[in-house]
Amino acid sequence: MWRNRLIAGSILWVAVAGCAPSAQEEYDEAVRSLKQAEQRLDNLRPAYDEAQKEAMLTVCKEIAGATPDESAAQALQQLSGAMSDPSVTAPAATGDKRPVGDADAAIDQLMTAQKDFQKKQADATAPILKTQEVMRNIKIAGTPEAKRFAEVLAEMPAAKAYQRQEERVAEKKKAVEEAEAELPDDGEKAN
């Protein structure tokens, strides 16, 4: 009787012990899981990149009042308006009663027109320079612009999803390392 119990217990123990996954199977499963997590992370990357661009434009618009494209369009419009301005091409109305052929008067008019155009040009390009400065500062760690960019980006759903998936990948890598440590030291890993 005790023999039957011993045999039944042995069979039960072998069956239970034999059903557990081997260290190699656990390692293979961890590697497969890691590859799936990395693939998912790769699939999320385009949305994350778009979220970064959107966050940069949002911060730029908050600080500079316009995006780079908006400021360029505005500058182009102002410059084309300055070129068609009659004060740039027409003689200035001065109280000077010099003869029309006076070279000094012509030079004075040209210089005045050039100064007016340069002022209009500087006024038109100032928003572009401001947006360029903001965009440059967004990329410099520690600047207020970079901090604001990080805040805006952190609130975007695509960035949140990407961050969560990065954390999952890190967990999967740790699981692979742990499973690899459990492998026998015969140096064979089936990938």
Reference 79, options 132, 118, 129, 111; nearest CA is 118
Torsion, Cα of 131, 133, 135, 138 (10° steps): -140
Which pLDDT score, from 0 to 100, does residue 3 have?
66
Residue 3 placed within a domain: no
Range of the domain at 70: 22-91+100-182
CA–CA gap between residue 115 and residue 119 (Å, rounded): 6
Amino acid at 66: A
pLDDT of amino acid 161: 96
In a domain, 139, yes or no: yes
Is residue 51, in this structure, part of any structural domain at all?
A: yes
Is 15 among the domain residues? no
Is 158 within the bounds of a domain? yes
Contacts of 59 (CB under 8 A, 6+ apart): 134, 138, 145, 148, 149, 152
The DSSP 8-state label assigned to residue 106 in this structure reads H
Q: What is this structure's pTM?
A: 0.65
pLDDT number for residue 186? 59
Provide the domain count of the chain. 1
Q: 118 pLDDT exceeds 90?
A: no
Q: Is residue 133 part of a domain?
A: yes
